[in-house]
């Protein structure tokens, strides 16, 4: 194993600074007592955090996003588990096409999906419906759940299932007692990734949300492109805090590198 030289370490420090800079600045500015985006050099204040919690629109959007992410991640899991079983366990015609279809939201830009959903819903007269918003998010996050479940299915020792069969377990018992427990890490990891991706999704949602279903990222985008005050920094700091906690949880449970980097 080679060691990194001093040049490499300086380079590395700069990259780390570059990656962290915007988030550090956001978190610091969030504590400013001033009315403008300034560093809290002299004193710290929580007034902008209080402002966030009193801002009805932001809170409504936050809960809206939470509900949306919970529902869409769960729906995508229920779609992905049987689909993944079909894809890994059976040879059938159109299997590759099906796999490509399920992973297509990764390749199709969210911008295009947003436009397409908007067109569909306007023809259906369903614009602004929360239920349909959930469906669009389920589509967008399905590839994440599917990929993780596919990965755990393919890496699973199928002889564990065969062993259970030889010991007298029926197909349903094998599924409940062996397959599902072994799939659980993949399912929960996929669910969490799906949750985060739904919670953070902006580009597609901005086309599909209506004033009553505005999600938090859309609300923040609108707010940031119109006025800039430290409340935006406070919201951002809160989101960074949530993301950090999620990251630590994910890392402890699954290893974030494995989850995000995948199997290559």
Partner 1 sequence: MSFLSVRNVSKYYGPVAAVDSFGLDVEKGEFISLLGPSGCGKTTTLQMVAGLVRPSAGTIMMGERDITHLPPPQRELGVVFQSYALFPHMTVAENVSFGLEMRKVAKAERDRRVKDILALVHLLALADRYPREMSGGQRQRVAIARALVINPPVLLLDEPLSNLDAQLREEMQFELRRIQQVVGITTIMVTHDQSEALSISDRVVVMEQGRITQVDTPYELYERPRNPFISSFVGKSNFLAATAEHHAGGATISIGNTGITFQANDRPKGKHVSVFIRPEKLRLTAPSEGQIEGTVTSRYFMGNQWLVSAKTPAGTLSVAVQNFGAPPPPIGEKVGLVWRNDDCRVLAAGAAE
Partner 2 sequence: MSASVSAARPRMVVPSLLSAPATLFFIGLVLLPLALTVILSFNSYDYTAGIQSDLTVSNYLTVLQDEYYYSTFWRTLRLALITTVIAVVIGVPEAYILSNMRKPWRSIFLLVIIGPLLVSVVVRTFGWSMLLGKNGFVNGALAAVGIEPVQLLYTETAIVIGLAHIMLPFMVIPVWTVLQKLDPTVEAAALTLGASRFTALRRIVFPQAALGILSGSLIVFALSASSFAIPGLLGGRRLKMAATLVYDEFLIELNWPLGATIAIIVLLANLVIMLAYNRLIEQQAKRKLG
Concatenated DSSP letters of 28-67: HHTT--SSSS---SS----HHHHHHHH-HHHHHHHHHHHH
The contact mask relative to partner 2 for 145-164 (x = CB under 8 A, - = no) is -------------x---x--
> In whole angstroms, how close is the CB of 130 to partner 2 at the nearest point?
15
When asked if residue 229 is in the footprint of partner 2 (CB under 8 A), the reply is no
Q: Which of 80, 148, 153, 194 binds partner 2 (CB under 8 A)?
A: 80
CA distances from 261 to 100, 148, 203, 256, 257 (A): 20, 11, 23, 8, 5
Residue 67 CA to its chain's centroid (Å)? 13
Q: Does residue 186 touch partner 2 according to CB under 8 A?
A: no
CB of 124 to partner 1, least distance (A): 45
Nearer to partner 1, 86 or 160 (CB): 160
Say whether residue 115 binds partner 2 (CB under 8 A).
Answer: yes
Structure tokens that stand for 228 in this block:
């800039």
**Region of 26-34, 38-46, 80-88, 152-160 interacting with partner 1 (CB under 8 A):** 152-160
d(CA 52, CA 204): 25
Q: Pick from 50, 54, 57, 157: which binds partner 1 (CB under 8 A)?
A: 157
* Per-residue burial over 185-214, b = 16 or more CB atoms within 10 Å of its CB, e = otherwise: ebbbbbbbbbbbbbbebebbbbbbbeeebb
Least distance from partner 2 to the Cβ atom of residue 156, Å: 13
Which residue from 82, 170, 255, 262 is in contact with partner 1, where contact means CB under 8 A? 170
For partner 2, give the closer residue by CB, 228 or 253: 228
Hey, CA dihedral for 184, 249, 141, 242, is it positive or negative?
A: positive
- Least Å distance between CB 215 and partner 2? 10
Residues 11-30 that bind partner 2 (CB under 8 A): 11-12, 15-16, 18-23, 25-26, 29
Q: Which is nearer to partner 1, 122 or 173 (CB)?
A: 173
**Are 250 and 189 within 8 A, CB to CB?**
yes
Cα angle 226, 229, 233; round to 5:
105
C-alpha–C-alpha distance, residues 80 and 148, integer Å: 10
Sites of contact with partner 1 (CB under 8 A): 157, 159-160, 162-170, 173, 177-178, 181-182
């Amino acid at each position: 194993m080679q060691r990194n030289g001093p040049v490499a370490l300086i380079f590395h420090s700069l990259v780390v600074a570059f990656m962290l800079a915007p988030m550090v600045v956001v978190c610091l500015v969030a504590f400013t007592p001033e009315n403008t985006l300034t560093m809290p050099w002299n004193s710290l204040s929580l007034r902008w955090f209080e402002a966030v919690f009193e801002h009805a629109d932001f809170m409504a959007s936050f809960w809206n996003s939470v509900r949306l992410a919970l529902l869409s991640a769960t729906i995508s899991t229920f779609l992905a588990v049987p689909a993944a079983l079909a894809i890994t366990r059976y040879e059938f015609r159109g299997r590759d096409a099906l796999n490509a279809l399920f992973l297509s939201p990764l390749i199709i830009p969210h911008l295009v999906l947003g436009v397409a959903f908007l067109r569909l819903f306007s023809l259906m007269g369903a614009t602004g419906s929360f239920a349909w918003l959930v469906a669009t998010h389920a589509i967008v996050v399905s590839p994440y759940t599917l990929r993780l479940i596919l990965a755990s299915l393919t890496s699973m020792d199928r002889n564990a299932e065969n062993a259970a069969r030889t010991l007298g377990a029926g197909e349903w018992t094998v599924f409940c007692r062996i397959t599902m427990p072994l799939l659980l890490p993949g399912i929960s990891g996929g669910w969490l990734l799906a949750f985060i991706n739904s919670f953070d999704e902006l580009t597609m949602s901005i086309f599909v949300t209506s004033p009553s279903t505005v999600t938090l990222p859309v609300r923040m985008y609108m707010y940031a492109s119109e006025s800039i005050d430290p409340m935006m920094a406070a919201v951002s700091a809160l989101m960074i805090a949530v993301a950090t906690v999620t990251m630590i949880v994910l890392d402890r449970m699954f290893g974030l590198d494995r989850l995000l980097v995948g199997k290559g």
